Amino acid sequence: MSINYSERIPNNVDLANDRTLQRALEHWQPKFLDWWREMGPHDSASADVYLRTAVGVDAQGWASYGAAKMPDYRWGIFLADRVADRTIGFGDHFGEPVWQQVPGELRTQFRRIIVTQGDTEPASVEQQHRLGLTCPSLYDLRNLFQVNVEEGRHLWAMVYLLHAHFGRDGREEAEELLSRHSGDVDKPRILGTFNEPISDWLSFFMFTYFTDRDGKFQLKSLAESGFDPLARTCRFMLTEEAHHMFVGETGVGRVVKRSLEAMKEIGSDDPQAVRNHGAIDLPTIQRYMNFWFTSSLDLFGSEVSSNAASSFASGIKGRPDETQYEDHVCSDATFTLESPQGQESVSLRNAMNEVMRQSYIKDCELGVRRWNMQIQRAGHAFRLALPSPHFRRSIGAWANVPTDPQGKPVGREEYERRMVDWIPSEADRAFVHRLMKRVIEPGKMAGWIAPPDRGINNLPMDYEYVRLN
């Protein structure tokens, strides 16, 4: 299949004049489309979707709206504009000019990080494969599809880097990105959270709130990279990522709102009564939060990590918003860690994963505060809360240390017995699944979620955001 480059793949990487890159992409694109048909949004190929497509990096170009069929979405390749005379902002190469090519000695490390980042993008599309079949409204269905096509584009962004900068190894890795699959027992996705099923919309909203926010922090740290094409690619991806977290925050907020309305309608906050009324009770929302937050915390890696130290030292991966710090070299600084054995002082470079995780937790708290304000305004004492970062961890110092959600150590037997009270039980999931019925009449909303405050791009709520054909 030959590609009309300016039309089919909007880009600002001069694709039309790069024969090597064209050949690599020509080879990869049909495989991507096969993957999309098989693993992308189920039974959606003929739907007309009101999509935002990036056709340039300027204010007009990055958000061009219109109806399109998803397989015809123009998966573009965009790097944020080059900053003249940019220098490396951290680590041992602090102040040196950024690299336009990957330094040979850092090739393996860069490839590993780009592959890990790239792997999460198609993974999330696979996780959400069947969600469209139970959408609560056309508005939500469109947002799901928007998120899916942009994750597809983010995969393209990483494949571009692999094809343009890593030769044959890069081409092989790009193929592997389509051959691992979320939850596959033989060839799973690389990071744990991306193998968890997302089979209901409450999980989808939690995932876009908590897991996409890991994406925000990881992309911000890669946006600091000394390898300029990677930094510019990630900077542009961040513009799209904001919408995914918006979907998560407003999604959870609307579930909370509907729960509060139900409590008012029945004059009770009894969780079972709220459920009988067709809404999701607040304790269930808390358990879903506990699950997705703790799983997402693992995505930052171990508290003490020689990988993280070496990524920082060599200029591969900085801290999100590196300019907020005074010391960008961190060769002598230390960091105090909470480990199960007590407080421990470690080299700051080795603690970079934990530095990022702590900024992430602060960011997560903002939305929780807003959800709690709704609950408080409705006159209820219940409060949602992020669990302790020591709870239910699988990676790092706290892995397999049994604690309760407040972080208090408990015995293994109690931990296992009480887990059903802390994360969604089979019965919780079955209940939530029973609520998931497809609503596709324009302007209508499923009974378990409140409508959003406004439509997309100033359109009314009853606009037909997806025409299912």
Which residues make up the interface to ligand BYC (CB under 6 A)? Answer: 112-113, 116-117, 120-121, 124, 151, 191-192, 211-212, 214-215, 218, 298-302, 305, 307-308, 317, 353, 395
- Distance in Å, CB of 311 to ligand BYC, minimum: 7
Distance CA 122, CA 111 (A): 17
Q: How would you write 301-362 as a 3-class SS string?
A: CCCCCHHHHHHHHCCCCCCCCHHHCCCCCCCCCEEEEEECCEEEEEEHHHHHHHHHHHHHHH
Distance CA 196, CA 181 (A): 11
Nearest to 363 by CA among 209, 256, 179, 189: 209
CB closer to ligand BYC, 203 vs 259: 203
Tokens of 411: 């015995």
CB closer to ligand BYC, 103 vs 192: 192
Nearest residue to ligand BYC on Cβ basis: 301
CB closer to ligand BYC, 281 vs 298: 298
165 forms beta bridges with none
Segment 293-296 long-range contacts (CB within 8 Å, at least 24 positions apart): 293/206, 293/210, 293/364, 293/386, 293/387, 294/387, 294/391, 294/392, 294/393, 294/423, 295/192, 295/193, 295/196, 295/210, 295/211, 296/193, 296/210, 296/211, 296/213, 296/214
Distance CA 54, CA 73 (A): 10
CB closer to ligand BYC, 124 vs 137: 124
- Distance in Å, CB of 279 to ligand BYC, minimum: 27
Measure the CA dihedral 134/209/240/366, to 10°. Answer: 140
CB closer to ligand BYC, 140 vs 214: 214
CB closer to ligand BYC, 137 vs 353: 353
CA-to-CA separations, 116 to 163, 183, 289, in angstroms, rounded:
15, 16, 25
Tokens of 360: 């992430």
C-beta atoms surrounding 152 within 10 Å:
21
- Distance in Å, CB of 192 to ligand BYC, minimum: 4
- Distance in Å, CB of 467 to ligand BYC, minimum: 26
CB closer to ligand BYC, 151 vs 228: 151
- Distance in Å, CB of 300 to ligand BYC, minimum: 6
Contact 283, 428 (CB under 8 A): no
- Distance in Å, CB of 214 to ligand BYC, minimum: 5
DSSP code for 211: I
CB closer to ligand BYC, 132 vs 275: 132
- Distance in Å, CB of 127 to ligand BYC, minimum: 8
- Distance in Å, CB of 75 to ligand BYC, minimum: 15
CB closer to ligand BYC, 245 vs 263: 245
Contact 301, 307 (CB under 8 A): yes
- Distance in Å, CB of 267 to ligand BYC, minimum: 39
